[in-house]
Structures are given as C-alpha cells and as structure tokens.
Structure 1
Amino acid sequence: MVLTGTALWLVGTVAFALSGNLHIEFWTCVAGVTLGVIGYGVFRWQRSAARRGSRGAWQGLSGLDD
C-alpha cells in the first residue's frame, strides 16, 4: 500500500512538472513522494529488526514476510 501511494504521488509530481505548473500542487506531490520513501524506509528497517529479533522492533510482522 505504501508503494502504491508513493507511486501515485510520483505520477502527480511528473504530471505537474511536465505541465509546467510548479505551484503548490507540485510541491504537495513532492512532499508526498518524500514522505512515502521515508515511511517505506522505516517500515523496511523495522521489519528487518523484527526478523533479527531485536528487542525494540515491532512485533507481529510475520504476515508481511513476502
């Protein structure tokens, strides 16, 4: 879901950039892409910590081991 949302923000960013509309809509899409990438990074970091068995890692991520 995170990757899908980030991809949609990226599509919006490209569309606004190609149209030459570099106003608030463009920068909103850039912020969406940035936050999506950061969020996915945190998700991957926590998932790898859970797999290692780190004490501070989120629990119950076994269903996401694709």
Structure 2
Amino acid sequence: MEREPEPTELSRRLTDPAPVIALGIALWVAATVVVLIVDRWSSALPVCLAGIGVGTVGFVLFLVQRAAARRGSKTAQRGLD
C-alpha cells in the first residue's frame, strides 16, 4: 500500500486571522454609516455600535495574546504566532 502524501501547509497569508477581524470591524463601520444615512433604520444603530465595540475588544485581546505567545509567555495561547 502506498502512503498518502503529507498535506502541504498553508501560507502565513492564508492563515493569519488579523485581516479577517479587521475586515469585520470595517464592515460594521460601513453598516453604521448606512444606518446613519437611512432614517428608517435608525433602530439598528445600537447593534452596529455593539458590533464595532465587540470586534474592537476582540481584536485587541487577540493582539495581546499573540504578542504574549511571541515573547514566550507561559500563560499565552498556543498557535497565535
């Protein structure tokens, strides 16, 4: 029986979650602008602001954990470098 070849690793560009998180926050900002322009959607403004806030807090936590992992902190999450 032949062994199946090992799968190749994806490039760093494809596995880095930072651009995806930043894009998500940018989409919430765009949604907020649309809600501010269209008057009848004004009830969705708190949801848009919450999306920006939660996305920003999550992104900051991700960056802090990534920095801790890169410097070798014992309490940092693994696989973020």
For the criterion TM > 0.5, the same-fold answer is yes
1:26 shift after superposition: 1.2
Comparing both structures, which one devotes a greater share of its residues to helix?
1
From 51, 54, 59, the equivalent of 1:35 is 54
Tell me which stretches of 4 or more aligned residues in structure 1 moved more than 3 Å: none
Residue 33 of structure 2 is aligned to residue 22 of structure 1: no
**Is structure 2 residue 79 aligned with structure 1 residue 60?**
yes
State percent identity of aligned pairs.
38
- Paired residue total: 61
Larger Rg: 2
User: Which runs of 5 or more residues in structure 2 are unaligned?
Assistant: 1-19
Structure 1's unaligned 5+ residue stretches are none
The TM-score with structure 1 as length reference comes to: 0.83
Q: TM-score, normalised by structure 2?
A: 0.69
Give the Cα–Cα distance (whole angstroms) in 1 for the partners of residues 51 and 72 of structure 2: 31
Match of 1:48 among 45, 50, 67: 67
| 1:9-63 deviation digits (Å, cap 9, x = unpaired) | 110011111223431x11101100100000000000000000111110011123x
Kept after mapping to 1: 8 A contact 2:35/2:45: yes
